[in-house]
Amino acid sequence: MKGYMGAVGDIGQRLLRLTALGLGLDDMEHFTRLTDDGWHHMRVLRFPPADATSERGIGSHTDYGLLVIAVQDDVGGLYIRPPVPGEERGRNWLPDESMAGRYENDEPWTFVTPVPSVFTVFPGDIMQFITGGHLLSTPHKVRLADRERYTLAYFHEPAFQAVARPLDATGADEFIHYGTHFTNMFMRCYPERAATARIEKEERLAVLERLRKEALNL
């Protein structure tokens, strides 16, 4: 697993440099500066076959970091939402603009046809934030198939202590402390998990606040 994550991580770094180039930035390391000691993680997922009661695999959502790099077997079930001109896309990092479940049953959705040895790559929340929505954090969802399905979803992330700012930042108050964003998302998505209860019970949010201040040199 570590070998795989390292290999995909190298692809992530290369894609971030190419993204900077594609955006016309002078600094090709604009994004990779955030990823030293990146909070990269991976979900190894098994989806059961659909049964009579439900075809729902994962509801529509966006992921939190810079890039999602996913591989799937030949079963299929992943759908992504393409950019839709004029469509409002929530800023998932704000408490009242959650993208969870958003547009779940509204077209358009594009089925990601499984192709052997092909990765599916799309931007996450931090990329949307930095590029001011030029690259949208891509909503996606999973429908169950008639067979079980396996995927590896790798998340290429900033460091926990990284502070992201928009390319066209106007005010010093426009930033995301990645560790705070990740923790907020985790607690919002998984309120029932033991880790969420521990974060609350053991007052880990105070530690997070200290880390946030450190990251911002406050």
Ligand X SMILES: O=C(O)CCC(=O)C(=O)O
Q: How far is the CB of 153 from Fe ion (least distance, A)?
A: 6
Q: Which residue from 78, 130, 136, 164 is in contact with ligand X, where contact means CB under 6 A? A: 78
Nearest to 147 by CA among 73, 44, 48: 48
By CB under 6 A, name the one of 5, 23, 42, 45 that touches ligand X: 45
CB of 104 to Fe ion, least distance (A): 13
User: Which of ligand X, Fe ion, none has residue 72 at its interface (CB below 5 to 8 Å by kind)?
Assistant: ligand X
Binding residues for Fe ion restricted to 26-85, rule: CB under 5 A: 63
Q: In one letter, which amino acid is 91? A: R
Assess 157 for contact with Fe ion (CB under 5 A): no
Neighbouring residues of 72: CB distance < 8 A, sequence distance ≥ 6:
78, 112, 114, 120, 149, 150, 151
Ranges assigned E (strand) in 99-208: 110-111, 120-123, 140-143, 149-156, 163-164, 176-177
**Which of 66, 136, 142, 162 is close enough to bind ligand X by CB under 6 A?**
142
Shortest distance in whole angstroms from residue 12 CB to ligand X: 15
**Binding status of residue 140 toward ligand X by CB under 6 A:** yes
Interacting partner of 69 out of Fe ion, ligand X, none (Cβ under 5 to 8 A depending on kind): none
Per the DSSP assignment, residues forming a β-bridge with 68 are 122, 155
Cite the beta strand spans of 17-117 per DSSP E: 41-47, 56-61, 67-72, 78-80, 110-111
